[in-house]
Structure 1
Amino acid sequence: MLLLALSTGHKLGLGLAVLVFAGFSLVSSMVIPRRRPQFPGRGLPIFLAVSVALFVGMLAAVVIFGAE
């Protein structure tokens, strides 16, 4: 398993990136629409910008922390 070969710091970095990405995904798909049925509404450009930034950040985390 490739994950076992990574150092502790790299595992921690990837884990934190996954935690932020998954947390945002779950909150934006389950919690916010329940409280605001019109979500994202007028905030669509901001939502898309945050989504793209998190996606690029996740790709960067895999490139940076996945290299050993």
Structure 2
Amino acid sequence: MRRSDSRHPKATAEEVSAFLGIPVATLYQWRHARTGPPAVKIGRHLRFDWTDVETWWDSQKAEQNP
């Protein structure tokens, strides 16, 4: 069964940095430190699943507002 119909486009580092309001370099630093939203490296490029970004965002809010 092909799942391409149910898959959503993956976000680029530029899109996620705009969404979070942070520099792209910060995303790469977070990836190196394993503290940011999960990403997959495709060649030299990071790709993010929007669901993972939103889950990470929600976890950050929960830590700030226990």
TM-score (norm 1): 0.30
Which has the larger helix fraction?
A: 1
The structure number with the bigger radius of gyration is 1
Higher relative contact order (CA closer than 8 Å, sequence separation 6+) = 1
Higher-strand-fraction structure: 2
